[in-house]
Amino acid sequence: MMDNNRRVVVTGLGVVSPLGVTVPRMWQALICGQSGVGYISSFDTAPFVTKFAAEVKDFDIGIYIGRKQARYMDRFTQFAVAASLQAVQDAGLAINAANNEEVGVIIGNSVCGLLTVSEQIEVLRKMGPGRISPILAPTMTGDAPSVQVSLTLGARGPNYSPSSACSSGSDAIGQAYETIRQGNARAMVAGGTEAPIMPLVLAAFEAIRALSTKNDSPTAACRPFDAERDGFVLGEGAAVMVLEDAAYALERGAPILAEIVGYAATCDAFHLTQPSPDGEGAARAVRLALKRANLGPGEVDHINAHGTATLLNDRTETAVIKHVFGDRAKHIPTSAAKSMLGHLLGAAGAIEAVITVLAMRHGVLPPTINLNHPDPECDLDYVPNQARQVKIRTAVKNSFGFGGHNSVLVFQQHG
C-alpha cells in the first residue's frame, strides 16, 4: 500500500550528451550557451534535405565496460549503460547482495535499436536469413537498455523500459518515483536513452516536415520560441538519475541533490503528431503534478520547457503555461535546453530533468539560445541567449510527445 509520507530524492546524475559525455562537461557548455549541433558525420547526407544533427562526440564505451560485453549492445544501450554507471558512482550507491533486490531500473526510449536493425536488414537482403546475428533479438528490443543496465549493475528490482515518444525519459523517472513511493524499491536507476541519428529516422522526420533545414548555420538551427524557427534538430544521448527513498539515502549518507515531489501523465487523444490546439491535456498534466506535490502555481520558480522549436509545439506550450500560471506566467523564467542539445526524443525528458536539478543546485539557468526574433505568440521569459543566476526552490519539467503524451515532473530543494 502506498505510503504518502515516503519521500523520494535524487542522489546521482549521469549523462552522455552532444555537449559532453559527463555531467560537468555538459553543464559547463550549457551555461556558456554552446551548441552541440553540427553537420552529420556518421553517414552521407547527400540524399537528405537536412544535413545536421546533435551527435555525441568522443564517446568510448570501453571506458565503462569490456569490449566483449559492448558487442551485445546497440549504441542506444551503450549510452544508457555509461550514463547509469556515472549516476550510480555519483550517488555513491554500492549494489550488492544486501540490497540488490531493492534496486530497480527503468530506462525509457522511443525508437529502440534501429541502428542494429538497419544493419541486419542489409545482411538479410544481401546474404539471407542464415547470416542474421544470433544476438539481434535481444539487442534491438526496447527493453535492452534496462536489461543491460541491470546486468551491469546487478540490480534485481523492478525493471522495464517505457516508450511514450518524447515523454519516455520523464515517464521513466516519474514511474521510478512512484515505484519507490509505493514501497516496491528503495532505489531506482531511471532515465532515457536514444541513438536515432541514422538515415531511416532522418528520412522519417523529413517526411513529416518536422526537422529544421537551416543547413547554412547548424548551430543556429534550433530556435525554440523564435519567430524564425522551422523545426527541431535531431539529437542523441542518454541521461540517468539515481532516485532513492529519502530515509534510505539519509541512512547511508548519500548526497541529496533534489527531491521529486510530483509527477503526472495525461494524453490528448487528439492526433498522431500534433498537440491538441487548446493544450487541455498538457495543462491538466501540469496541474495534476502540482496538485500531487501539494503546491500551487504561485510556488513555482522555474519551468524547464519541452521547447522543440516546432511551430505548433512552442505556441501550444506557451498557451499551456499561461493557462496554468495565469498572470505569473510571464514572470517565471522558462528555458529550452533543446536549443543547444537538439531533441533527444525518448531521452529528452531525462536529460532535461537532469539539467533542471543542476539549475536548482547551482542557482543558474542555462539560456535558450538562438532566440533573436521572439514569436509574438510566444511572449514569456525564455531566458534568451545568456545564462541567469536565479534562486530556485521549486521547478517544473514539461515533456510532450507525439501521440499526445504529456508528462510533468516537479522538483524541489530537499529540506
Q: Is 378 a catalytic residue?
A: no
Residue 323 annotated in active site? no
Contact 334, 302 (CB under 8 A): yes
Q: Coil, strand, or helix at residue 50?
A: coil
Count CB atoms within 10 A of the CB of residue 364: 17
Q: Which residues pair with 160 in a beta bridge?
A: 106
What's the distance, CA 156 to chain centroid? Answer: 24
Count of C-beta atoms within a 10 Å radius of residue 133:
14
Phi, psi of 178 (to 5 degrees): -65, -35
For residue 241, the one-letter residue type is M
Cell of residue 70, nine digits: 559492448
Q: Which of 52, 46, 79, 40 is nearest to 63 (CA)?
A: 79
**DSSP per position, 179-236:** HHHTTS-SEEEEEEEE---SHHHHHHHHHTT-B---TT-GGG---TTBTT---B-BB-
Backbone angle region of 363, left / alpha / beta, with phi > 0 → left and psi within -120 to 50 → alpha = left
Beta carbons within 10 angstroms of residue 24's beta carbon: 10
Bridge partners, residue 343, by sequence: 234
DSSP state of 295: -
Grid coordinates belonging to 215:
543547413
Catalytic residue among 302, 343, 405, 414: 343
**Residue closest to 76 by CA, chosen among 163, 197, 172, 241:** 197
**What's the CA gap between 126 and 270, in Å, rounded?**
42
Tell me if 258 sits within 8 A of 10, measured CB to CB. Answer: yes
State the burial class of residue 100 (Cβ atoms within 10 Å of its Cβ: 0-12, 13-18, 19+). Answer: middle
Annotated active-site residue in 112, 222, 302, 306? 306
* Active site (annotated) includes residue 306: yes
Cα–Cα distance, 248 to 266 (Å, whole number): 31
C-alpha pair distances (Å), 252 with each of 103, 176, 241, 247, 414? 14, 20, 17, 9, 16
Rounded to 5 degrees, φ, ψ at 78 are -60, -45
Q: Which residues are catalytic?
A: 166, 306, 343
